[in-house]
């Protein structure tokens, strides 16, 4: 232990602790921009400077370790002036269109300008002038709003390990962009949106679909329906200052009805359907000695990654469409027929925690009878904007229930929203399918949690299954090399591109606080725990849809409607 003083307060700190962390431990906040928890500091922005007694210059606290007897001032006039100048320079090089910016009210640059009382324009200089990248259907990049903190670059390179964007050029011309500035859509980007979550400004943001959706709702000839992903119900409350992990399913349903959706369904229904199809596909692959291991296909970011980087493994991907795509396909076939609606007039909107789902919904493979399964995807953040615009006061909303039959679901479906959940849900059903017996203990703790790779050996009857869960796309290369090495013969592997799973998806409320993710995950497991039915095959609506329409999992008709194919993207971009 080391003793030092910060702002005349005695502080006990561990050796190697940074000044920033030591200050935090006694409740002294130092602003940061380029700093990222758990990553090596770059010291790029210098907003975190402090004054250390006996040292000439100001010291960046995020990267400087404490030492015995140090006397530190975090708020001296000199420090404040230095920080203010940094903020002023950033602001002067910024478009300053706060009033019409999506991050208005949730922007770190705005907050700093407020904190340091910027009241005049002291430096007026040349402003950056870069075009907005709208090449992708999921995300936009607006480099004019970039303050070059590098957090997106580090997230993409060090956490996701995709490496789609990097710093280019230097000096005034420095720009964070894709190779040859060609646009996200022609890069290796998987559109996971993790970079949006860390960006302090609106330089990275989702491609908004709110206009299209509201236009469809006001079109009298359209039958507009909504479906909600499991992960949205446990996070949207954060935008209304509800306690972390609040489950607000009932209010969401009411809110969507008030927006004008004719029906509100639960993507969890199709998560159960996915499990039925996927568990049967797995059994078929094992019994008939087809390609193994089978990879889950619910995460379109992971699918896109594989298509770019390992097209030789496309046959390992489950052919199951992702749950919201299945829901769309079933709505436009089974449900439309039941209701006597022309599927062409139906407009399906998915409320998702995810940015890649936008790209996914536009994939040409994802249609039935040439009608696209899903028409529009709104992220959690966009839905909040619509609620606000339409005067829907979330706090006082009464609760309501989903429409049926595509609204019923099991506890297995809700945990799809977190890493390990798809695997756990599938195992609950696979156990029954193979043994004919009900599983006693439903929780698979080995594959829960936030570790990068979670492995387990599962005994089902005579069978011994090697399974693994990859949490975050940055860990997938290690798994793939292990598979290629072939020491262990894996049967089933779940991959989710976002660390923590969809609950931490790129379309979720922007928070910058890793501890939030754990609380959100807990919320999903609690919903599962409280459900009377926690197994997909016991979902009565699922049993009915097979009886009335799909016959059995992996039947010919199920294949036509619920399964898909993939594209070798290596050829596309190189």
Partner 1 sequence: MVEQLFQKYEPSNRSNLIAILQDIQNVFGYLPENVIQQVADYLKLPLSSVYGVATFYNQFRLKPLGKNVIRVCRGTACHVKESENILSALELELKIKAGETTRDKLFTLETVACIGACSIAPVVNINDEYYGRVTIREIPKILKKFRLENKAQIKQNTGEE
Q: Name the residues annotated as catalytic.
A: 278, 281, 298, 318, 357, 360, 365, 502
558 binds, among partner 1, ligand SF4, ligand FES, none (CB under 5 to 8 A by kind): none
Residue 299 lies near ligand FES (rule: CB under 6 A): no
CA pair distance 488, 45, nearest whole angstrom:
46
Binding of ligand SF4 by 199 (CB under 6 A): yes
Residue 179 binds which entry of ligand FES, partner 1, ligand SF4, none, with Cβ cut-offs from 5 to 8 Å by kind? partner 1
Binding to ligand SF4, residues 76-105 (CB under 6 A): none
Q: Which is nearer to ligand SF4, 25 or 42 (CB)?
A: 42
**Distance between CA atoms of residues 51 and 432, nearest Å:** 65
**Between 33 and 52, how does the x/- string for binding to ligand FES read (CB under 6 A)?**
xxx-------xxxxxx----
- Inter-axis angle of helices 210-218 and 380-389, to 10 degrees? 50
Select the span of 27-35, 68-76, 430-438, 490-498 touching ligand FES (CB under 6 A).
Answer: 27-35
Query: Shortest distance, CB of residue 9 to ligand FES, whole angstroms?
Result: 21
Give the max Cα distance, the chain: 81
If the CB atoms of residues 280 and 309 are measured against ligand SF4, the closer one turns out to be 309
Return the range that interacts with partner 1 (CB under 8 A); candidates 79-87, 166-174, 394-402, 486-494: 166-174
Q: In which residue are the tokens 């927006």 written?
A: 259
Minimum gap (Å) between residue 230 Cβ and partner 1: 32
* Shortest distance in whole angstroms from residue 168 CB to partner 1: 4
DSSP-H helix ranges across 397-492: 411-414, 421-435, 476-485
Q: Which stretch binds partner 1 (CB under 8 A): 38-46, 175-183, 359-367, 546-554?
A: 175-183
Nearest to partner 1 of 289, 574 (CB atom): 574
451 sits near partner 1 (criterion: CB under 8 A)? no
Bridge pairing between strands 71-73 and 2-6: parallel
431 phi, psi to nearest 5 deg: -60, -45
CB of 489 to partner 1, least distance (A): 27
8 A C-beta contact, residue 499 and residue 507: no
Which phi and psi angles does 77 have, rounded to 5°?
-60, -40
Closest CA to 132 of 209, 203, 187: 203
- Provide the 3-class DSSP secondary structure of residue 479: helix
- CB under 5 to 8 A by kind: which of partner 1, ligand FES, ligand SF4, none does 474 bind? none
Nearer to partner 1, 174 or 541 (CB): 174
Number of residues that bind ligand SF4 (CB under 6 A): 27
* Angstrom distance (rounded) from CA 246 to CA 248: 6
Q: Which is nearer to ligand SF4, 199 or 392 (CB)?
A: 199
CB 204 within 8 Å of CB 377: no
- In terms of CB distance, is 253 or 479 closer to ligand SF4? 479
Q: Is 157 in the site for partner 1 (CB under 8 A)?
A: yes
- Residues 121-160, interacting with ligand SF4 (CB under 6 A): 146-152, 155-156, 160
65 scored as a contact of ligand FES (CB under 6 A): no
DSSP per position, 319-358:
-BPPHHHHHHHHIIIIIHHHHT--GGGEEEEEEES-SHHH
The answer to whether residues 500 and 302 touch, using CB atoms and an 8 Å cutoff, is no
Closest CB 139 distance from ligand FES, rounded Å:
25
Q: What share of the chain is helix, strand, coil (3-state, %, to 5)?
A: 45, 15, 40
Instruction: Provide, rounded to whole angstroms, the least separation between the CB of residue 45 and ligand FES.
Output: 3
Q: Which does 333 bind (CB under 5 to 8 A by kind): ligand FES, ligand SF4, partner 1, none?
A: none
**Cα end-to-end span (Å), the chain:** 54
Residue whose structure tokens are 């002023």? 88
| Sign of the torsion angle spanned by Cα atoms 254, 520, 244, 386 | negative
List contacts with ligand SF4 (CB under 6 A): 146-152, 155-156, 160, 162, 164-165, 176, 189-195, 198-201, 203-204
List contacts with partner 1 (CB under 8 A): 157, 162-170, 178-180, 187-188, 574
């Amino acid at each position: 232990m080391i003793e030092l003083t910060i702002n005349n307060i005695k502080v006990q700190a561990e050796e190697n602790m940074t000044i920033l962390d030591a200050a935090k431990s006694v409740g002294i906040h130092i602003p940061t921009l380029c700093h990222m928890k758990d990553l090596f500091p770059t010291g790029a922005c210098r907003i975190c400077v402090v004054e250390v007694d006996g040292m000439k210059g100001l010291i960046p606290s995020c990267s400087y370790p404490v030492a015995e007897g140090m006397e530190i001032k975090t708020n001296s006039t000199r420090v404040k002036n230095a920080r203010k100048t940094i903020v002023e320079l950033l602001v002067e090089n910024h478009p300053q269109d706060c009033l019409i910016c999506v991050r208005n009210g949730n922007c770190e640059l705005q907050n700093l300008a407020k904190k340091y009382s910027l009241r005049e324009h002291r430096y007026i200089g040349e402003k950056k002038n870069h075009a907005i990248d709208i090449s992708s259907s999921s995300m936009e990049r607006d480099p004019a709003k970039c303050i070059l903190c590098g957090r997106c670059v580090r997230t993409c390179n060090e956490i996701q390990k995709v490496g789609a964007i990097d710093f280019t050029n230097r000096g005034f011309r420095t720009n964070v962009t894709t190779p040859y500035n060609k646009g996200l859509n022609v890069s290796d980007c998987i559109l996971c949106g993790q970079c949006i979550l860390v960006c302090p400004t609106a330089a990275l943001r989702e491609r908004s679909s709110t206009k299209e959706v509201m236009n469809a709702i006001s079109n009298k000839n359209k039958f507009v329906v909504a479906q909600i992903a499991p992960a949205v119900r446990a996070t949207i409350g954060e935008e209304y200052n509800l306690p972390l992990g609040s489950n607000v399913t009932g209010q969401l349903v009411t809110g969507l009805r008030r927006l004008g959706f004719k029906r509100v369904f639960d993507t969890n229904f199709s998560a159960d359907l996915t499990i039925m199809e996927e568990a049967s596909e797995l059994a078929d692959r094992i019994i008939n000695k087809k390609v193994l291991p089978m990879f889950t296909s619910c995460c379109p970011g992971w699918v896109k990654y594989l298509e770019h980087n390992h097209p030789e493994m496309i046959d390992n991907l489950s052919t199951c469409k992702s749950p919201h795509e299945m829901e769309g396909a079933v709505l436009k076939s089974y449900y439309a027929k039941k209701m006597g609606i022309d599927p062409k007039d139906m407009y399906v909107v998915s409320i998702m925690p995810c940015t890649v789902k936008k790209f996914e919904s536009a994939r040409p493979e994802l249609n039935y009878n040439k009608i696209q399964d899903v028409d529009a995807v709104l992220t959690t953040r966009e839905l909040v904007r619509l609620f606000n615009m339409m005067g829907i006061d979330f706090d006082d909303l009464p609760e309501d229930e989903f429409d049926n039959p595509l609204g019923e679901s099991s506890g297995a479906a809700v945990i799809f929203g977190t890493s390990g959940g798809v695997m756990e849900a599938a195992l609950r059903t696979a156990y029954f399918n193979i043994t004919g017996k009900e599983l006693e203990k439903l929780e698979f703790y080995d594959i829960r949690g936030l570790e990068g790779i979670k492995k387990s050996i599962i005994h089902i009857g005579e069978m011994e299954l090697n399974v693994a869960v990859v949490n975050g796309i940055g860990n997938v290369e290690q798994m793939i090399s292990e598979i290629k090495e072939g020491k262990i013969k894996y049967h089933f592997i779940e991959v989710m591109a976002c660390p923590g799973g969809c609950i931490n998806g790129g379309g979720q409320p922007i928070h910058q606080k890793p501890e939030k993710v754990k609380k959100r995950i807990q919320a999903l497991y609690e919903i599962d725990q409280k459900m009377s039915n926690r197994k997909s095959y016991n979902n009565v609506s699922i049993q009915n849809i097979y009886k009335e329409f799909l016959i059995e999992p992996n039947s010919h008709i199920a294949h036509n409607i619920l399964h898909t194919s993939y594209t070798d993207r290596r050829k596309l971009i190189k």
